[in-house]
Amino acid sequence: MKKSREELEKECAEAIAKVEQYQHQCQRLENRIRYYTEGERKKRNHRLIVRGVDVESVAPEVRGMSQAVFRTLAEQIFSLPEVAALVSRMIDQQEDD
């Protein structure tokens, strides 16, 4: 059973339309992935900035410290048993709220 040229052209046009639909659907999904990925990154950046501001407001002396010195200070502070216990207690309190 042979198909006429018009039928073949119609099938071709329909196939091209389907391909374009799938391409647009794929692009929408890629855009959605990028939106959620960037959204998580923006939330993380915001959280880090706010925490940095909080640290500087409590201890303004850290403003002049280099990154390496500040990191060493933070490591030493958070390695103290009293601080580790306090952090655990605050996490427990937050979970209870």
**Lookup: tokens for 8:** 């073949």
pTM: 0.55
For the cut 80, the answer to whether the pLDDT of residue 1 exceeds it is no
In this prediction, residue 54 carries a pLDDT of: 96
- Note whether 87 and 78 are within 8 A (CB): yes
What does the alpha-carbon distance between residue 21 and residue 74 come to, in Å, rounded to a whole number? 53
Give the CA-trace dihedral at 33, 39, 40, 46, to 10 degrees: 170
Give the tens place of pLDDT for each residue, 6-17.
899 999 999 999
Give the tens place of pLDDT for each residue, 28-82.
999 999 888 888 888 899 999 999 999 999 999 999 999 999 999 999 999 999 9
